[in-house]
Structure formats: structure tokens, C-alpha cells
Copies of this chain bind each other. A is one copy, B any other.
Amino acid sequence: MVQKHYVTYNQIHKLCQHSATRILQDFRPNLMIAIGGGGYVPARILRSFLKQPGTPNIPMQGIGLSLYEDLGRDDPEEAPGTKVTRTQWLDLSSLEMTNLIGKNILIVDEVDDTRTTLEYAVRELEKDVKEVTQKLGRTGEKTNFYIFVLHNKDKPKKGRLPDDMIQEGRYLAAETVPDWWICYPWEATDIDEHDRLVAEAPTSTNGSA
């Protein structure tokens, strides 16, 4: 049986707060991309901690990515959770793609489980930026993608991130955990009971950041 790992809102708030220090120091993002719906909450919290006095908030765009299993499709030929479909992509009319060239772009999600969604997001975003970069002859400017997730599950991954992203330390998980079933608070039907389960859990599996 898979062990359940309950996390409170305040623990997630602190995970974002703690990671913001590293993100500000090493990543210095110019844009945040929240993978919806899971990335929405950490991205919103993180934005507060990335705000610098006297400067505007870091712009944030939401993208929607679903594994096929989330769509409730009944295709027996399709292994669940292996194919990604877009439900929303970057808005290039508001956010000119050329503005992304040479910038630091932080992709935010809640969990790195099989890595399938993250692989898709990075690959497609890099492809889009590369196209525009070459078209405009601005190949001298490097656009860097970074990843922030609340939890990375320590398990074999189906998806693969670019080697240079890993080597250059452009991947940050606030916590690395075993292959647990992570129970996020925004999925709790009884939030008081949810918090009680966290409080009663051994600290080794449910310590706050």
C-alpha cells in the first residue's frame, strides 16, 4: 500500500518561502509559467516572495497541461498518464514571444511524479523560443528555463529533462520524497481532518520546511 503524505497549506507556504531565497539568488526569473491546475497555488505564493521592493510583480502566465487520464477518455489503447494534451498555452498576443528571448523563465508545478508533464512543458517551450530566436537571428542570446516544484518523487521517471538543465542546477524541488501519495490541501474534502493527520504523523515524514 502506498504511504499517504499529507501536507498543510502553511507547510506549502513555507516550502515556497524557503525556496524563494534560492530562486532569487540563482534563477532570477523574468517570467513565471504556472502549470495548471497544480502549479497555480505554489506559483501565486512564490510570486509574493519573489517581489522586490520598488519593482513590479514578476509576470505570470498559466498554461494548462493534462495527462490523458485526467480527461476521462475511454481509449483502452492509450496507457493512462503517458500523453500530454494542452488545454491552454502561452498567450503570445499579450506576451510577445520575442520578449522571452534571453530571459530566465521559471516553470512552476506542484509535483514531479513521472516527469511526463514537465518534459512536455520544457520541450515545447524551448522549441517555441528556439523558433523565434532563429527567425529573428538573435541566436547569441540564451533563454534559460528553470523548474520549481514543491515535491519531487524519488522514483524512475518516464519523462526526461534536458541534460544541461540538470547539470546547470536549473531544477529545484522544495522537497524530495519517496514515491508517496502526496495529499495536497486543495484536494482535501475535510481540511480540519487533513491538518489533524499531518499533526499526528511522525515528523520524519511530515516535517515542515
Contacts and interface: CB of A to CB of B under 8 A. Distances in A.
A186 B13 contact: yes
Chain A interface extent, by class: 35 or more
A98 interface: no
A195 interface: yes
A40 interface: yes
A139 interface: no
Instruction: Kindly report how many copies of this chain are found in the complex they form together.
Output: 2
Interface in A85-142: 86-91, 93-95
Nearest to A71: B56
A28 interface: no
A124 to B, nearest CB: 12
A64 B34 CA distance: 12
Interface string A35-66: 01110110111011100001111011110100
A186 B40 contact: no
A10 interface: yes
A202 B94 CA distance: 44
A47, A185, A186 — most chain B CB neighbours (10 Å)? A186
A187 interface: yes
6 contacts: A9-B185, A10-B192, A48-B188, A56-B72, A61-B62, A62-B64
Given A9-B13, A62-B64, 11 more contacts: A14-B191, A17-B191, A37-B57, A40-B40, A48-B188, A61-B64, A86-B94, A87-B95, A88-B91, A88-B94, A89-B94
10 smallest beta-carbon distances between A and B, as pairs = A62-B62, A9-B9, A56-B72, A40-B40, A88-B91, A40-B44, A13-B191, A45-B186, A37-B44, A61-B88
